[in-house]
A and B are shown apart, each in its own frame.
Chain A
Amino acid sequence: AQTVTQSQPEMSVQEAETVTLSCTYDTSESDYYLFWYKQPPSRQMILVIRQEAYKQQNATENRFSVNFQKAAKSFSLKISDSQLGDAAMYFCGSFGNEKLTFGTGTRLTIIP
């Protein structure tokens, strides 16, 4: 079984600043993957970043990076140089045993 917890229902950040979204997870799987997806108002789910749990190196994708702490089961997302287009719901997800489990989401607002 998997559980994913996002403790921040809402976050806001000034444009061009940096923000970190928190995520913790629990899984009984030894082989699993972690994801961050964003869902803008269009409701299309868009992959932001992916982390293979067996890799120690933190994944990065341009302005997006993660802090993966496997022992603590923590998988936070850092967004640098925030842009207006980053405004969306962000869902953390854990994939294991052929199933993707999402957290409850964090609504990110960008302040111009």
Chain B
Amino acid sequence: GAVVSQHPSRVICKSGTSVKIECRSLDFQATTMFWYRQFPKKSLMLMATSNEGSKATYEQGVEKDKFLINHASLTLSTLTVTSAHPEDSSFYICSATSRDGYNEQFFGPGTRLTVL
């Protein structure tokens, strides 16, 4: 149980275009979903926290107009990178917690974004 999927697993796009990444909890209802960014050989940095039906809470330094997060249902959150630039290239990971998860976060497999 407690499986989180991400789609796509990798995406290459041209500079200036927008890319949407989906995060789904497959077998549980996710009260909260988190989006992280990980640079090569670095740790995970929290970008934002989203709760179903409400606006996402962004960490300091994260541009909310560039990284649009929508948490439309208890099983789906999306991250849209708008007007992507090469510096947005990174590994993006989502995670989700359930009501009874004892604050354990279940992580998706990640999405590698490359902006040309």
Contacts and interface: CB of A to CB of B under 8 A. Distances in A.
Interface of A: 33, 35, 37, 42-47, 50, 52, 91, 95, 98-105
28 contacts: A33-B102, A33-B103, A35-B104, A37-B107, A42-B109, A43-B91, A43-B109, A43-B110, A44-B107, A45-B44, A45-B93, A47-B104, A47-B106, A50-B104, A52-B102, A91-B44, A95-B105, A98-B32, A99-B46, A99-B49, A100-B95, A100-B105, A101-B46, A102-B43, A102-B44, A103-B43, A104-B42, A105-B42
Interface secondary structure of B, over-half rule = strand
A-B pairs with lowest CB-CB distance, top 3: A45-B107, A102-B43, A33-B103
Interface residues of B, number: 19
Contacts of B67: none
Interface secondary structure of A, over-half rule = strand
Interface string B99-116: 000111111011000000
